[in-house]
Amino acid sequence: MEERSITPGIFLLTAVCGVIDATCFLALGGVFAEIMTGNLMFLAFALGQGQGIEAVPYFLVPLVSFSLGAVCCGYLLRTPRRGGGRRHAFLPVAVLVAVAVVLAVIWQLQTRSTEGMVIVGILALAMGMQNAAVLYHPVPDVATNVMTLTLVRLLSNWSLVGEDNARWHFRVGSLTIFFVSAAVGAALVRFGPAAGLGLALILYLVALPFLLKGRSPADAT
């Protein structure tokens, strides 16, 4: 029986990131839960344009939560575990996304604005953990969020510049999945944030068997 690969799970995480970031930016306050480069830029813009201290928390919440998630996952990855080892770091991410979905449903039913930033904080915490976990199980040329680097690798290794670009389909796959998932997430915003986050949770649950049991290139080292 052929051993399952972790690669489909990582591709699904790319879709999760696209949906979550589209939902957060368009429906939960104009910030990202996973693209920290964007949040850093927005924070710099707010400070540079003199928007005042009241604008800072909107961008600090995801930045701090994401950082905390990365730290927590780093601790989990270094804690010896049986029957899965480092793969267990993906499980808390699924739990956090599920909590965010529940809060989003409650928020929509009660139409309160205060929960929006709480949801972003929870999702950023989850995405910080997810990104740290992926670092320990990388699949070459399959990115979950850094599409700039993926695009550079695709074009700079193009056959027209004398490279074979043997893994071009992985790079194109990452770019396409991220783009399409973000577009789908944006379309679902019309039904409220719970719709997009619900889809992200479903994608994550589908990805979990690959993430927990699939063979990673790092397993061979």
Residue 164, domain member (yes or no): yes
Residue 75, domain member (yes or no): yes
- Per DSSP, 215 falls in state B
Residue 129, domain member (yes or no): yes
pLDDT per residue of the chain (221 residues) written in tens, 0 to 9:
445 788 899 999 999 999 999 999 999 989 999 999 899 998 888 888 877 677 788 888 999 999 999 999 888 887 655 444 556 889 999 999 999 999 999 888 886 555 788 999 999 999 999 999 888 777 766 777 777 777 777 777 665 555 556 667 788 888 899 999 999 999 999 999 999 999 999 999 999 999 888 776 655 54
Token pair in block for residue 75: 């601790």
Segments forming the whole domain that contains residue 91? 7-214
Residue 149, domain member (yes or no): yes
Residue 52, domain member (yes or no): yes
How much is the pLDDT for 95? 96
**Backbone CA torsion sign across 196, 202, 205, 207:** negative
Q: For residues 150 and 143, give the distance between their C-alpha atoms in angstroms, rounded to a whole number.
A: 7
How much is the pLDDT for 170? 80
How much is the pLDDT for 82? 47
Query: CA-CA distances (angstroms) from residue 69 to 5, 21, 90, 123, 182?
Result: 26, 16, 12, 10, 22
How much is the pLDDT for 76? 82
Residue 221, domain member (yes or no): no
Residue 1, domain member (yes or no): no
Residue 2, domain member (yes or no): no
Q: For residues 19 and 179, give the distance between their C-alpha atoms in angstroms, rounded to a whole number.
A: 9
Q: Answer for the pair 67, 132: CB distance below 8 angstroms, yes or no.
A: no
- Written in H, E and C, the secondary structure of 6-61 is CHHHHHHHHHHHHHHHHHHHHHCCCCCCCCHHHHHHHHHHHHHCCCCHHHHHHHHH
Token pair in block for residue 170: 């992985």
Helix axes 168-188, 7-27, angle to 10 degrees: 30
Token pair in block for residue 167: 């893994």
Q: Note the helical H segments in 35-190.
A: 36-48, 56-77, 90-110, 115-135, 147-156, 168-188
Number of domains, the chain:
1
Cα radius of gyration (the chain): 18
